[in-house]
Amino acid sequence: MAEEAGPHQVTARWTALGGALRAGAAAAAWGAAGETEVFALHDDGQVWDRYWDGKTWHAWESLGGA
């Protein structure tokens, strides 16, 4: 999983977000700082999320089984 770079995004290049995904991810963004939450089904069968707070990506966190 990676974040695409561009003028409206948080970096000027692709940023690897890690994780071994079983299926595609979904993301939601809000706020002036561009806060973003990414949800993905990982290869362990659990839904995980990762959060951008406008300054840094926080580690993947398990939300439990799907």
Tokens at 28, concatenated: 């939601």
Return the pLDDT at 37: 92
Q: Is 14 helix (H, G, I), strand (E, B) or coil?
A: coil
Is residue 7 one of the residues assigned to a domain?
no
What confidence tens digit (pLDDT) does each residue in 7-64 have? 555 556 677 777 777 777 888 988 888 889 999 998 888 999 999 998 888 999 999 8
Is residue 64 one of the residues assigned to a domain?
yes
Is residue 62 one of the residues assigned to a domain?
yes
Is residue 50 one of the residues assigned to a domain?
yes
Tokens at 62, concatenated: 């398990």
Is 13 in contact with 30 (CB distance < 8 Å)? no
| Rounded CA separation 48/36 (Å) | 14
Is residue 29 one of the residues assigned to a domain?
yes
Q: Enter the DSSP assignment of 57.
A: B
Tokens at 12, concatenated: 């000027």
Residue 50: give the domain boundaries.
21-66
Return the pLDDT at 62: 94
Is residue 6 one of the residues assigned to a domain?
no
Is residue 15 one of the residues assigned to a domain?
no
Instruction: Please state the domain count of the chain.
Output: 1
